[in-house]
Amino acid sequence: MAMTGVLRPGHAQIRVLDLEEALHFYRNVLGLVETGKDATGRHYFKGWDERDHHSVIIRQADRAGIDFFGFRVLDVATLNQLEKDLNAYGVKTERIPAGELLETGERVRFQAPTGHFFELYAEKTHVGNGSGLVNPAPWNPKTAEHGIAPIRMDHCLLYGPNIQANKDLFTKVLGFRVVEYVMAPDGEHTAAFFMSCSHKAHDIAFVEHPEPGKLHHISYRLESWERVLRAADIIGMNKVPVDISPTRHGVTRGTTIYAWDPSGNRFETFCGSYEPYPDWEPIKWTFDEFGYGLDHTTGKLHESFLTIVS
């Protein structure tokens, strides 16, 4: 196969402070499709064009943030091999039994040097996008126009210490590569890595930060810049607190909005970007120009963006 190993971001489990408020937000404002609720009270969601049963799980907790982020791998053989590779690299793994997450096979969990928990899994039930697999319509008015209605959960950006070690783990063991990176003010250390296991510009990103295990944002993909405006309008109609209003990123070239869910978990609605391949050399951002990397329109180093995490 030309696509092997780790295929894509598969799920994020997010902690919310008030479940009812969160359910309204994820259902009607962000406009994800709700696909289930389990015995522990977790609610399951997906973007309208995802085939898998879910990509976002929310659970009530007393502090916001992310429990774990999962990647779908090619198949069970790959899962087993990657577990061996992780162990050989010195990373301890834990097997979570099939069914612990609804409609999901066995998961291999590990903690990365930045303190975040990651999971690999090879099986999750396909529920489709509602258009079926025979002569499908291009989109479904019921799901694609309810709330912001992203296509899919696309990637996340995580804050924690030791991102160089995360980068090594993800490149040496999991088959990721660095697509873009940002230099620290000292010009020697790397402040951020944007990494891909595909020809997306990022499947995951890490920013160096003293506290471990922090969530900067979960990103949701939209079809077009006009859908970014539509998202902005829905954000405004619902008075969702906004971090950065519509702009272009220099880094990855995506167009974007950053805002917070009612619990203070930042999310991004984004579109655009480009499609890098493994043979492409990574792009470097120097700190003095990183304002344009973050917000290409203004060049502004948004303090809130750089410092607030959950």
SS3 229: helix
Residue 39 engages its own copies in binding (rule: CB under 8 A): no
Residue 73 CA, chain-centre distance (Å), reads: 16
Contact present, 157 and 217 (Cβ < 8 Å): yes
For tokens 């998961």, what's the residue? 107
Cβ neighbours for 105, distance < 8 A, ≥ 6 positions apart: 76, 98, 121, 122, 123, 124
Whether 202 sits among the annotated catalytic residues: the reply is: yes
Residue 224 engages its own copies in binding (rule: CB under 8 A): yes
Whether 302 sits among the annotated catalytic residues: the reply is: no
Distances (CA, A) of 92 to 122, 144, 251: 19, 40, 33
Residue 49 CA, chain-centre distance (Å), reads: 16
What is the number of other CB atoms lying within 10 angstroms of the CB of residue 278?
11
Residue 285 engages its own copies in binding (rule: CB under 8 A): yes
Per CB under 8 A, contacts with its own copies among 61-90 are: 72, 74
214 vs 257, beta carbon nearer its own copies? 257
4 vs 41, beta carbon nearer its own copies? 4
Residue 175 engages its own copies in binding (rule: CB under 8 A): yes
99 vs 299, beta carbon nearer its own copies? 299
151 vs 218, beta carbon nearer its own copies? 151
Whether 249 sits among the annotated catalytic residues: the reply is: yes
Per CB under 8 A, contacts with its own copies among 291-310 are: 292-293, 295-300
Residue 168 engages its own copies in binding (rule: CB under 8 A): no
CA 192 – CA 206 distance, rounded (Å)? 5
Per CB under 8 A, contacts with its own copies among 225-284 are: 225-226, 229, 232-237, 239, 242, 245-248, 250, 253, 255, 257, 272, 274, 277-284
Active site members: 155, 202, 217, 249, 258, 268
